[in-house]
């Protein structure tokens, strides 16, 4: 990505005097804020505590599978999918052994669950943050939850069922429950602080949505909300240096470089024919949703979902899509995210999970094995989302 940005500048496709305007600093503030809060939640043990609190209640292997899927998915919706992926990759194999489950099954549960779960909120993953900030969609938190939360919950259950059938999980009783939740808290003070911070961000986004309906939002640039809350957590944290160290700065730097690189690609016009082939004009309804979905699934495997989103948002705006086209924007969020379930390269969280687990535990899932299972999961996920989202759009409009 850095090389692409360099070539764009060197070839004068991107204007060097306008580089700072290519970067959407509202998105960067959003990322810094959410990654900071997620880093504190991970460092303090809060994320693993929330996970353990649920899994501790499992009494059979099948129940553990469903609880794993729901827990990873719901955590990803509020704590950023990459943070949950990083935490999950540390505990996935030990959990599999403790619960007598196939390690490959638990790895796939983690990968699919964090992808699906992160779909339903603007704070679940980077591409959703990008869409929420740049598209102009009205009341982003409310809109995302309305269009995406119900089918996401259904998809988490259905995905657990599919993996249950594919791997032949039996409803055998567990020999011993997973370890006590209290054992995983490493810093009680920071766990409380990060928990309050997560709740505060969600609450402020919801309040901002409500006030926006009345024409008086707290802020126009919603990235300020998580950034400000995160700044307060650093002041209160018992170990701010460790939290800063754990923040995913590489992803933030990737975004800054990506904005410049994608601006160069945009101004070169090289991808316009490909975009026009799948979405040639402004339209709403089922055909528009299908076209956006097809483009997202295909191009996210080549460009990866975040760079594709960074290019496709301005393309859709160029066609005339505005903040009032809720179905189009939530379809883009859904499809670019679920594209991560198709192949390993479709989402950064997949790479984080598989690289970490292989280096720590020597367990891996091949590209083709992932795709074989992922293709079925993706197809069913997409069908469930569109079967809910398109009729909902017709009802609301």
Count of structural domains within the chain: 1
- Given this model, what pLDDT does residue 133 score? 84
Q: 365 Cβ partners below 8 Å, 6+ apart? A: 104, 107, 108, 344, 354
Q: 91 Cβ partners below 8 Å, 6+ apart? A: 48, 51
Give the Cα separation of 191 and 195 in Å (integer). 6
Give the Cα separation of 195 and 184 in Å (integer). 15
Q: 33 Cβ partners below 8 Å, 6+ apart? A: 201, 223, 225, 226, 227, 228, 229, 230, 231
> Residue 92 — pLDDT band, cuts 50, 70, 90?
confident
**Joined tokens for residue 50:** 């929330």
CB-CB contact of 224 with 199 (8 Å): no
What are φ and ψ of residue 173, in 5° steps? Answer: -70, 145
Each residue's pLDDT tens digit, 185-212: 889 999 999 999 988 988 888 888 777 7
**Joined tokens for residue 240:** 């701010």
Each residue's pLDDT tens digit, 247-302: 878 878 877 887 777 777 766 777 788 888 888 788 778 889 999 999 999 988 87
CB-CB contact of 72 with 113 (8 Å): yes
Q: N- to C-terminal Cα distance for the chain?
A: 40
Residue 173 DSSP class? B
**Joined tokens for residue 327:** 């179905």
- Domain range holding 344? 2-396
Is the alpha carbon torsion for 11, 17, 23, 28 positive or negative? Answer: positive
> What's the whole-model pTM score?
0.81
Residues constituting the chain: 397
């Amino acid at each position: 990505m850095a090389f692409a940005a360099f070539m764009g500048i060197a070839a004068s496709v991107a204007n060097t005097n306008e580089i700072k305007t290519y970067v959407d600093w509202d998105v960067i503030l959003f990322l810094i804020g959410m990654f900071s809060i997620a880093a504190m939640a991970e460092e303090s043990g809060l994320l693993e505590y929330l996970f353990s609190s649920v899994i501790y209640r499992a009494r059979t292997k099948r129940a553990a599978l469903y609880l794993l899927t729901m827990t990873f998915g719901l955590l990803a919706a509020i704590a950023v999918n990459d943070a949950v992926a990083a935490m999950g990759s540390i505990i996935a194999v030990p959990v599999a052994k403790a619960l007598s489950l196939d390690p490959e099954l638990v790895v796939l549960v983690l990968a699919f669950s964090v992808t699906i779960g992160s779909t339903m909120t603007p704070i679940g993953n980077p591409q959703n943050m990008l869409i929420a900030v740049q598209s102009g969609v009205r009341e982003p938190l409310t809109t995302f939850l309305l269009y995406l939360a119900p089918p996401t919950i259904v998809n988490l259950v259905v995905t657990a069922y599919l993996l249950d059938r594919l791997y032949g999980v039996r409803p055998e009783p567990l020999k011993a429950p997973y370890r006590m939740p209290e054992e995983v808290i490493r810093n009680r003070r920071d766990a409380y602080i990060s928990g309050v911070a997560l709740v505060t961000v969600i609450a402020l986004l919801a309040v901002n949505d409500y006030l926006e309906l009345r024409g008086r939002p707290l802020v126009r640039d919603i990235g300020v909300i998580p950034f400000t809350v995160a700044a307060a957590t650093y002041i209160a944290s018992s170990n701010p240096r460790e939290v800063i160290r754990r923040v995913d700065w590489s992803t933030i730097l990737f975004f800054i470089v990506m904005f410049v690189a994608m601006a160069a690609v945009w101004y070169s016009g090289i991808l316009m024919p490909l975009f026009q082939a799948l979405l040639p004009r402004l339209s709403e309804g089922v055909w528009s949703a299908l076209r956006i979905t097809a483009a997202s699934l295909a191009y996210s495997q080549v460009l990866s979902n975040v760079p594709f989103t960074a290019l496709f948002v301005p393309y859709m705006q160029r066609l005339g899509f505005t903040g009032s086209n809720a179905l189009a924007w939530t379809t883009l969020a859904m499809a670019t995210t679920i594209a991560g379930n198709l192949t390993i390269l479709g989402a950064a969280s997949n790479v984080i999970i598989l690289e970490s687990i292989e280096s720590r535990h020597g367990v891996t899932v091949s590209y083709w094995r992932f795709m074989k299972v992922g293709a079925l999961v993706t197809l069913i996920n997409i069908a469930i989302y569109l079967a809910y989202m398109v009729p909902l759009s017709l009802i609301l409009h």
